[in-house]
Amino acid sequence: MAGKIFVLMPAYNAAATIERVFERVPEAARARISRYVVVNDGSSDGTADAITRLGRKFPNLVALDHGVNRGYGEAEKTLLGYAVDHGAEVGILLHSDGQYSPELISELLQPFDDDTADIVQGSRMLGGGALKGQMPVYKFIANKALTAIENWAFGMSLAEYHSGYMLYSRKAMISIPFQSLSESFDFDLEMIVLARVLGLRLKEIAIPTIYAGEVSHLNPIRYGLRVLGIVGKYKLGKYDRMAGRRN
């Protein structure tokens, strides 16, 4: 049974959604969560006030702050660094926009309880529910195309590489040199790539796809180009060198 579980949440202009995400965490999952850690990544709306209100309801909430927006990857580095420094055994990256279901935390933790995974990804593409959940068709097609390229390049067979609903064991958080990774949305992909290089166990679990008209801060063209750049760097051995391995 995994212990000392931290929920790690990047928050950028999430005033309208973050409190509802906390409300949706089931009681069974709340009983297992040691600490919620939220980093306000330079928000310009009422995110700071929302986090203050949440702190009154959740005494085990720790609020961190980036005075200026540093980017998604930098927010994750801050959160993972905090988790490592404070002894977390599992870190759950849960987004503050409500797009990933906190209702499934217990199911996503099961592979850690069973000691069958070092990293768990909540996959929207697994189980075929992406379009039913109103994922835009262009995003669905792009996801499938990029995933096909990535599976070929990395020698894996994942349903997708682009979900941000990631859970990391302490072994993964300590083994992966995450402070050297991207400051942007391709951070999660680099974590998967390094997990592959290091031989860590990765498991996918199907999650529902939720699109409710939220504002996305991701530029899909730029993101796609960055993904292809990671594929190229992998083929050139960059991630082997980062992991201290000769290619």
Alpha-carbon distances of 150 from 32, 121, 177, 183, rounded to whole Å:
34, 16, 21, 20
Return d(Cα 49, Cα 130) in angstroms, integer.
Answer: 33
pLDDT above 90 covers a percentage of the chain that reads: 81
pLDDT exceeds cutoff 70 at 12: yes
Query: What pLDDT is stored for residue 212 in this prediction?
Result: 57
pLDDT exceeds cutoff 80 at 3: no
Coil, helix or strand for 90? strand
Query: What pLDDT is stored for residue 221 in this prediction?
Result: 86
What is the chain's mean pLDDT, rounded? Answer: 92
Global pTM value: 0.93
Q: Show the DSSP H helices in the chain as ranges.
A: 18-23, 27-30, 47-57, 72-85, 105-113, 137-154, 170-175, 187-198, 220-235, 238-242
Return d(Cα 107, Cα 124) in angstroms, integer.
Answer: 15
Backbone phi and psi for residue 61, each to the nearest 5 degrees, phi listed first: -95, 130
- Given a contact cutoff of 8 angstroms between Cβ atoms, the answer to whether 119 and 203 are in contact is yes
Q: For 217-239, what is the mean pLDDT?
A: 90
Of the candidate ranges 59-68, 162-171, 191-200, 206-215, the one whose mean pLDDT is the lowest = 206-215
pLDDT tens for each residue of 200-222: 999 999 998 776 555 556 677 88
Residue ranges and CATH numbers for the domains of the chain are 5-135+162-215 (3.90.550.10)
Query: What pLDDT is stored for residue 215 in this prediction?
Result: 53
Query: What pLDDT is stored for residue 136 in this prediction?
Result: 77
- In this prediction, residue 133 has a pLDDT band, given cuts at 50, 70 and 90, of low
Structure tokens at 66: 């980036």
Count of alpha carbons within 13 angstroms of residue 173, beta-carbon side: 26
C-alpha 25: how far from chain center: 17
Q: For 75-87, what is the mean pLDDT?
A: 98
